[in-house]
Amino acid sequence: MSDLKYIRVEWDGEIAVVTVDRQDKLNALNADVVREIGEIFASLRDDDAVRGVIVTGAGEKAFVAGADISELARMDSVSAVRISRDGQRVFRDIERFPKPVLAAVGGYALGGGCELALACHLRIASGSARFGLPEVGLGIIPGYGGTIRLARLIGLGRAIELTLTGDMVDAERALEMGLVSAVVERERLMDEAKTLLRKVTKNGPVAVRMALESIYRGLDTATAEALDFESALFGLLASTDDMKEGMKAFLEKRRPDFKGR
């Protein structure tokens, strides 16, 4: 991994907090930021010490205020496709990340920033958060998966309205829409993010991973095939030490000690 200029990683036990830190541009995603996000997730993926990841933005004003418009302004058709594919690949790797990823959104999550949050498995926001896909106002469309993931998350009608108007919604509206699962005070954002993520990471890591796999596979395949896949994963989990431990701990009225095996 090259030296990271725009990404900071801090640890709190088994949780890695990944902060996009380009505050003078409201953490906007230029090509280097996108590449660094990809690099950091690749390095965290196979690290057994990591049970979950929080993604956030540095500073008070923004989570991520979008793709870097000064870069986008220079693109032609060929480089535009490359920019979109590069971002999609990195965000898809986040969506497919084998451990839970939570976006802690304080401030603006616009364009690529909103798409970054959408690629995460969980999202919470502070009261100052603002979400939106303003791309059509710039003569483009969301290119990092936003036209696909937003509709899946909040439904077609609302996704079309947000995408075509480019309107921003505040945190409370985002909560009503199901775009985030909680709104908390700004100073509590990181603590609440960790509390929610720990509710996940205390569970069997292999089970959590397979639940995510089954949920996302279910979105992309016909029901019969998706159900087959769910059963196969259910069967596979029955061979894990974690399943034995989880059930034994329940019967013994104690907390399970999962090893991720």
Q: Which residues are catalytic?
A: 115, 135
Q: Which is nearer to ligand COA, 9 or 69 (CB)?
A: 69
Closest approach, Cβ 48 to ligand COA, in A, equals 36
Burial class (CB in 10 A: 0-12, 13-18, 19+), 96: middle
Kindly state whether residue 154 participates in binding ligand COA, applying the rule CB under 6 A: no
Residue 220 CA to residue 104 CA, distance in Å, equals: 26
Q: Candidates 22-30, 154-162, 211-219, 220-228 — which segment interacts with ligand COA by CB under 6 A?
A: 22-30
Which one of 15, 58, 68, 97 is in contact with ligand COA (CB under 6 A)? 68
Kindly state whether residue 173 participates in binding ligand COA, applying the rule CB under 6 A: no
Residue 121 CA to residue 214 CA, distance in Å, equals: 13
Which one of 100, 106, 111, 205 is in contact with ligand COA (CB under 6 A)? 111
Closest approach, Cβ 71 to ligand COA, in A, equals 8
- Could you say which DSSP state residue 98 is in? S
SS3 content of the chain, % helix, strand, coil (to 5): 55, 15, 30
Residue 187 CA to residue 60 CA, distance in Å, equals: 10
For the CA atoms of 170, 147, 35, 75, the dihedral, rounded to the nearest 10 degrees, stands at -110
Closest approach, Cβ 102 to ligand COA, in A, equals 22
Which residues of the shown chain bind ligand COA in the complex (CB under 6 A)? 25-26, 28, 65-70, 108, 110-112, 134-135, 138
